[in-house]
Amino acid sequence: MFDDLRDLYQEVILDHGRKPRNFRRLEDADRSARGDNPMCGDRLELFLKLGPDGRIADAAFQGRGCAISTASASLLTETVKGKTAEEAHALSDSFRELAMTGTCPHCQAALEEEMERLQPLSGVHEFPSRVKCATLAWHTLNAALDGAKEASSE
């Protein structure tokens, strides 16, 4: 990877880690789930508000975690808005592939724009212990969509 790109990605992660977007409780959430990554100590709660058409109208999270888990949750809340549950699951699968391998050959073309926004986290595949930090919010998203209350990075 070019150094400039690596610096840019680093900047995105630090920015979202320090100033997470949608960092709040959604009091009228239709779905929520808690996520726990004991390996690093990351804990978060994710909230989803569904619109009348079943699409995700709003997403937010709260919790404490390292910069990578916080940045990933922040980017998640920005990229899942407007998605159906099925699309959100597909995005979650794609992101986990990106985090584990650094690329996403199986990603749907329809998700290209979202995957580009999540690209800054692709570097975690070089650090296996941090992959769970990056994927925690996405496991929690799946749990919330499936009506489960807890998700673990294990």
* DSSP secondary structure string for all residues of 113-138: HHHHHHGGGGGGGGSHHHHHHHHHHH
Rounded to a whole number of angstroms, the minimum distance from the CB of residue 108 to Zn ion is 28
When the beta carbons of 46 and 85 are compared against Zn ion, the nearer one is: 46
Q: How far is the CB of 45 from Zn ion (least distance, A)?
A: 16
Closer residue to Zn ion (CB): 42 or 114: 42
CB of 42 to Zn ion, least distance (A): 4
Report the Cα 7 to chain-centroid distance in Å: 21
Q: Which residues bind Zn ion (CB under 5 A)?
A: 40, 42, 66, 69, 133
Distance between CA 93 and CA 103 in Å, rounded? Answer: 12
User: Residue 69 has which token pair?
Assistant: 């888990």
Nearer to Zn ion, 107 or 140 (CB): 140
Q: Are 132 and 65 in contact (CB under 8 A)?
A: no
